[in-house]
């Protein structure tokens, strides 16, 4: 691997494992700019090459996510007072209901993001299939054009041979009867 951490790049699968996310979710984050990365410029069947994600970008995302979780825990009152007694920082019933609603929404969002990731993976596969089909169609079109040209050439040869044979009997009769 690379000598310095900022020179190291991860692939989508490796970054997904480190972040505890699906590869499809990582691709979605890369496309949206939520996670820094770039695609290799070489194309495979018309599609850009795989993603390269700098190790620093993965680490920065983890830190932002961890900071966001800590903030959410503080806001939701997830941390208990050390003595277990009710204090001014103990969340009210309304706050607890709000926290539960936020948690449920978070679960729904994660489910939707998972579905979005699956759909994006299917879209990516479809794009690759479409590029492959276009290439096949182009090759088939070129082959058909060569076959048409060959058929036209054979048709021209046949027409020339027929014309020569039509002239041949007349020339033979003329030679025989002096005409």
Interval 23-52: pLDDT, tens: 888 989 998 889 999 887 776 666 777 889
Model-level pTM? 0.39
Task: Using CA atoms of 50, 19, 56, 119 in order, give the dihedral in degrees to the nearest 10.
Answer: 30
Reply yes or no on whether the pLDDT at 76 is more than 90.
no
- Assign 52 to helix, strand or coil: strand
Reply yes or no on whether the pLDDT at 88 is more than 80.
no
For the chain, which residues make up each domain, given as ranges? 5-79+92-154
Alpha-carbon distance of 9 to 4, in angstroms, equals 11
Alpha-carbon distance of 69 to 29, in angstroms, equals 18
Neighbours of 157 (CB within 10 A): 10
More confident residue, 57 or 73: 57
Of the ranges 92-96, 100-104, 122-126, the best mean pLDDT one = 122-126
Q: Is residue 10 within 8 Å of residue 53, measured between CB atoms?
A: yes
- Assign 10 to helix, strand or coil: strand
Interval 114-147: pLDDT, tens: 899 889 889 988 999 999 999 999 999 999 999 9
Among 44, 48, 35, residue whose Cα is nearest residue 9: 35
Average pLDDT, rounded, for the chain: 81
Interval 50-60: pLDDT, tens: 889 999 999 99
């Amino acid at each position: 691997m690379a000598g310095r951490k900022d020179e190291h790049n991860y692939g989508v699968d490796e970054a997904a494992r480190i972040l505890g996310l699906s590869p499809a979710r990582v691709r979605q984050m890369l496309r949206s700019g939520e996670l820094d990365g770039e695609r290799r410029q070489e194309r495979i069947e018309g599609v850009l090459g795989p993603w390269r994600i700098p190790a620093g970008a993965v680490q920065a995302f983890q830190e932002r996510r961890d900071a966001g979780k800590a903030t959410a825990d503080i806001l939701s009152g997830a941390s208990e007072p050390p003595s277990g007694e009710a204090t001014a920082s103990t969340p009210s019933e309304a706050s607890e209901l709000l926290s539960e609603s936020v948690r449920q929404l978070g679960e729904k969002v994660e489910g939707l993001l998972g579905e979005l990731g699956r759909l994006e993976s299917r879209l990516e596969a479809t794009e690759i299939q479409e590029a492959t089909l276009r290439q096949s169609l182009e090759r088939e079109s070129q082959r058909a054009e060569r076959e048409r040209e060959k058929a036209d050439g054979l048709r021209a040869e046949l027409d020339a041979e027929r014309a020569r044979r039509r002239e041949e009997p007349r020339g033979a009769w003329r030679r025989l009867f002096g005409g």
